[in-house]
Amino acid sequence: MNVLVINCGSSSLKYQLISSETEKVLAKGLCERIGIDGSAITHQPEGGEKVTTQVPMPDHTAAVKYVIEKLTDPEVGVVKSLDEIDAVGHRIVHGGEKFNTSVVINDEVIKAIEECNDLAPLHNPANLIGINACKKLMPNVPMVAVFDTAFHQTMPKKAFLYGLPYEYYEKYKVRRYGFHGTSHDFVSARAAEILGKKREDLKIIVCHLGNGASVTAVDHGRSIDTSMGLTPLEGLIMGTRSGDIDPAIISFIADKENISADDMINICNKKSGVLGLSGGISSDFRDLASAAESNDQKAIDALDTYAYRVAKYIGSYAMAMKGVDVIAFTAGIGENNCQMRAAICDYVTWLGTSIDPEKNAIRGEEVILSKPDDKVAIMVVPTNEELAIARETVRLVK
Ligand code: ADP
């Protein structure tokens, strides 16, 4: 089967066409500036060059039309016609409490996703636009929704409730949902596989450290706690997001700076994290590493603060699961940033485990960093959310 995986944002659309038999990416690409002047599609067939073409894309339907055009193009295409696209898998950010697994999309599902818009006003409406655009252009192709929140629906109440008046949970469903679920599921499953063990027998902490970042406690195969909350703002310090702060800071600074609470949340989302902490140097850890090498104190502090927060979450999840067998690093920073992995693992040595510096110098590959008889296995497991979505799509469509 060929599965088209779609990740639709408000003005962008990322796609991959994956063959389920070989699990290879046949082609991938990105539509940018949808609905804005200067829109363009960047397409790359397997083993071929990346080519960007400026095309008018007034809406997402136009974008999906260009995606199909590229995929079936005689030169840069990888299939002869639309008939060779067997299913579409959509990444959906928020499934609320309605979805604890992926589902085949029908009108009822679309309605239920719409009902979660409130919880992810920037993401879910865009995801739905992607679904509707595909429905229009490929009415007979089955589609599946894969939710970022679904894997975390196994969290117990004590992990998902906030210490707020209970009526807010009842009235507005204010609770911890967690995100990056597809990645935490994929990485924890793969980590067990690499170790030759069953995930159901392990206590795994997955650190997904990308621009957005979260840590999850996967206890015997089930997510029992995760660092992101009602929204992806909670938890770790991220590229531009603050992660955990004292909620009173919002009104305190809003008053001082004469801005609204919404402005302040926007600052917490877009101008905080290591970008804010470093005094605006960058949200990218490569830039921060160079600045730290030149002894920029703010960059050094930003990286220290980041590592400390990740270590604190690892510690609290080891307690939540009453133990830990595996710590797995993934995503851009987790897979590639050896210094950050070393800084975080320095806090973990008391658990009776340490990493081999030579193995830790490897980037972007599956590798076990700890020694074979260490109490806790520390490893790098590259994530692949698109492949996970394609697998889910095949599982449901077959
Ligand atoms: P996103 O959440 O947007 O998918 P990524 O998972 O790509 O983000 O993570 C982005 C972060 O990963 C950046 O801070 C970047 O510095 C880091 N990163 C990505 N690739 C590398 C690399 N080869 N070496 C070091 N750091 C990297």
Q: Which domains are delineated in the chain?
A: 2-147 (3.30.420.40), 197-380 (3.30.420.40)
Nearest alpha carbon, ligand 1 atom 18? 332
Kindly give the number of the ligand 1 atom that is closest to the alpha carbon of 283.
14
Is 25:111 a contact under the CB 8 Å cutoff?
no
341: CA distance to ligand 1 center in Å?
A: 13
Who contacts 10 (Cβ-Cβ below 8 Å, separation ≥6)?
122, 125, 126
167: CA distance to ligand 1 center in Å?
A: 40
Helices (H), the chain: 60-71, 107-114, 124-137, 157-160, 166-172, 181-195, 248-257, 261-270, 273-277, 285-293, 297-320, 331-336, 338-345, 357-360, 385-397
Q: How many CB atoms lie within 10 A of CB 227?
A: 27
Nearest alpha carbon, ligand 1 atom 13? 284
Who contacts 369 (Cβ-Cβ below 8 Å, separation ≥6)?
341, 345, 355, 356, 359, 360, 378, 379, 380
pLDDT tens, per residue, the chain with 398 residues:
999 999 998 889 999 999 999 999 999 999 999 999 999 999 999 999 999 999 999 999 999 999 999 999 999 999 999 999 999 999 999 999 999 999 999 999 999 999 999 888 888 999 999 999 999 999 999 999 999 999 999 999 999 999 999 999 999 999 999 999 999 999 999 999 999 999 999 999 999 999 999 999 999 999 999 999 999 999 999 999 999 999 999 999 999 999 999 999 999 999 999 999 999 999 999 999 999 999 999 999 999 999 999 999 999 999 999 999 999 999 999 999 999 999 999 999 999 999 999 999 999 999 999 999 999 999 999 999 999 999 999 999 98
The pLDDT assigned to 120 comes to 87
Nearest alpha carbon, ligand 1 atom 22? 336
210: CA distance to ligand 1 center in Å?
A: 6
The pLDDT assigned to 157 comes to 98
Nearest alpha carbon, ligand 1 atom 3? 211
The pLDDT assigned to 246 comes to 98
Nearest alpha carbon, ligand 1 atom 4? 210
Kindly give the number of the ligand 1 atom that is closest to the alpha carbon of 288.
16
Is 337:345 a contact under the CB 8 Å cutoff?
no
276: CA distance to ligand 1 center in Å?
A: 18
To the question of pTM greater than 0.75 for the whole model, the response is: yes
* DSSP codes joined into one string, 73-115: -TTT-SSSSGGG--EEEEEES--TTT-SS-EE--HHHHHHHHT
Q: Containing H/E element for 377?
A: strand 377-380
Determine the residue of 337, 362, 365 to mutate for testing ligand 1's pocket, defined as the one with the most ligand atoms within 8 A of the Cβ atom.
Answer: 337
Determine the residue of 180, 207, 286 to mutate for testing ligand 1's pocket, defined as the one with the most ligand atoms within 8 A of the Cβ atom.
Answer: 286
Determine the residue of 14, 237, 336 to mutate for testing ligand 1's pocket, defined as the one with the most ligand atoms within 8 A of the Cβ atom.
Answer: 336
| CB contact burial 177-214 (16+ within 10 A = b; e otherwise) | bbbbbbbbbbbbbbbbebbeeebeebbbbbbbbbebbb
Residues designated as active site: 148
Residues with CB under 6 A from ligand 1: 210-212, 239, 284-286, 331-333, 336-337, 363
372: CA distance to ligand 1 center in Å?
A: 28
291: CA distance to ligand 1 center in Å?
A: 16
Residue 146 to residue 105: CA distance in whole angstroms = 10
